[in-house]
C-alpha cells in the first residue's frame, strides 16, 4: 500500500477532543486518507493536541493491525485481571457461549464502542486455553464502570469491566497466541509511531532545529517498515527494539527543545512519556528471545 506521506508529514493543525473521544477519533479516521493502521497512527499523532490523544490513536491502530475486520469506532482489548496477563492467571471464562468474570482495564472507558475480551474455555483437566470474544459494551450482563484517575495520559478515560453471562462472538484462532500475545508488539509500535508524530508536529509548530525534525522523521520512516512485518517474526522484535533505542537516543534533544520553547507541551510530554515504558520488561524478554531465535546470542544455560 502506498503511504500517504504528504498528508502525514505536511502542515496540519491539531484538534482538541472538545466533543469527546469518539468524535475526535472519527476525525482521525476521516482525515487519515487511508485505512492502513500505520497511517492512522501517524495522522492521529499529528492531529492530537496532547500525548494522551496520540496514545489513543496509536492504541486504536494497534487493534486494527491485530484484527483487520475491526468495526468502526473506539475499541478496547480487555485481558488483564488483577494486573496479570497469563492465561493460567485468568478467571474469566466462557461457559455455554456466555462470558463470566471481570477485567481490570478498558481503554477509553465509557467511550469504547466495542470490546475484545479474553476468556478461558478449556475443559476440566486441560491446560489453560483462551478464546477472544467481541462484546457489546451496552449488552445484557455487561457492566462498565469508571476507573480511578491515572498519573499518565489522564485525558484518556478508562474503566473496569464486569461480565455476568454476557454474550460474546468468538474470533477464530487461539486467543493467546494469535491475539493477546502479539498485541503487545502492535501496541509498542503504533503508540511509538503516534507519539513520534505528535513530537514531529510540535517540532514544526515550535520551529525546532531542522536536524531534530529530520531525526524524528527518520523514526517514522523506520516505523513504517517495521509495520509491514508480522508481529510473530523474531526479526520484527529485533527491529522494533532498534527503533525504540533510536527514539530513546533523541530524548535529550527533545527535552532541550521543549525547555527552550517554555510552552505547556513540555510539561505534557514529561508527564505522559512514561506510557512508552509500561511494557519495558516484556520488550526486553522479546528482544532476548529474538536474538536467540536469530542466532545472534546463545540461550541462557545452553
Q: Are 79 and 184 in contact (CB under 8 A)?
A: no
d(CA 15, CA 198): 12
Query: SS3 helix, strand, coil % of the chain, rounded to 5?
Result: 50, 15, 35
Start-to-end CA distance of the chain, whole Å, equals: 42
Query: What pLDDT does residue 149 have?
Result: 87
Structural domains in the chain, sorted by start? 5-66+178-293 (no CATH), 75-170 (2.40.110.10)
Containing 78, the helix (H) or strand (E) segment is: strand 75-78
- What pLDDT, in 10s, does the model give residues 169-192? 999 999 999 999 999 999 999 999
Q: How many CB atoms within 10 Å of residue 258? A: 22
Q: Are 174 and 121 in contact (CB under 8 A)?
A: no
- SS3 letters across 170-207: ECCCCCHHHHHHHHHHHHHHHHHHHHHHHHHHHHHHHC
Tell me if the pTM is above 0.85: yes
CA angle 276, 210, 245 (to 5 degrees): 30
Query: What pLDDT does residue 302 have?
Result: 44
Residue ranges in the chain modelled with pLDDT below 50: 301-302
d(CA 65, CA 60): 9
Cell reading at 251:
530524548
d(CA 73, CA 91): 28
Measured CA to CA in angstroms, residue 37 lies from 53, 127, 203, 273, 288 at distances of 16, 34, 23, 21, 27
Query: What pLDDT does residue 1 have?
Result: 64
Amino acid at each position: 500500500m502506498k503511504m500517504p506521506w504528504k498528508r502525514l508529514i505536511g502542515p496540519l493543525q491539531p484538534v482538541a477532543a472538545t466533543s469527546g473521544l469518539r468524535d475526535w477519533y472519527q476525525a482521525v479516521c476521516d482525515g487519515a486518507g487511508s485505512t492502513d493502521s500505520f497511517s492512522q497512527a501517524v495522522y492521529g499523532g499529528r492531529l492530537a493536541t496532547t500525548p494522551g490523544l496520540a496514545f489513543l490513536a496509536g492504541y486504536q491502530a494497534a487493534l486494527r493491525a491485530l484484527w483487520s475486520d475491526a468495526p468502526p469506532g473506539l475499541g478496547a482489548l480487555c485481558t488483564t485481571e488483577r494486573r496479570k496477563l497469563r492465561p493460567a492467571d485468568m478467571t474469566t471464562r466462557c461457559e455455554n457461549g456466555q462470558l463470566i468474570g471481570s477485567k481490570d482495564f478498558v481503554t477509553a472507558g465509557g467511550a469504547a464502542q466495542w470490546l475484545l475480551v479474553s476468556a478461558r474455555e478449556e475443559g476440566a483437566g486441560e491446560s489453560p486455553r483462551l478464546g477472544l470474544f467481541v462484546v457489546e459494551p451496552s449488552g445484557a450482563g455487561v457492566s462498565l464502570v469508571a476507573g480511578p484517575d491515572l498519573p499518565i495520559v489522564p485525558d484518556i478515560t478508562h474503566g473496569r469491566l464486569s461480565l455476568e453471562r454476557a454474550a460474546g462472538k468468538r474470533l477464530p484462532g487461539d486467543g493467546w497466541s494469535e491475539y493477546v500475545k502479539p498485541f503487545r508488539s502492535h501496541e509498542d509500535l503504533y503508540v511509538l509511531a503516534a507519539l513520534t508524530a505528535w513530537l514531529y508536529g510540535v517540532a514544526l509548530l515550535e520551529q525546532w532545529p531542522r536536524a531534530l525534525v529530520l531525526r524524528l522523521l527518520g523514526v517514522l520512516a523506520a516505523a513504517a517498515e517495521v509495520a509491514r512485518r508480522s508481529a510473530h517474526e523474531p526479526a520484527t522484535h529485533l527491529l522494533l527494539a532498534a527503533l525504540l533505542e533510536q527514539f530513546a537516543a533523541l530524548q535529550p534533544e527533545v527535552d532541550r527543545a521543549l525547555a527552550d520553547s517554555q510552552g505547556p507541551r513540555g510539561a505534557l510530554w514529561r508527564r505522559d512519556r512514561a506510557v512508552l515504558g509500561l511494557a519495558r520488561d516484556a520488550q526486553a524478554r522479546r528482544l532476548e528471545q529474538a536474538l536467540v531465535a536469530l542466532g545472534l546470542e546463545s540461550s541462557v544455560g545452553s
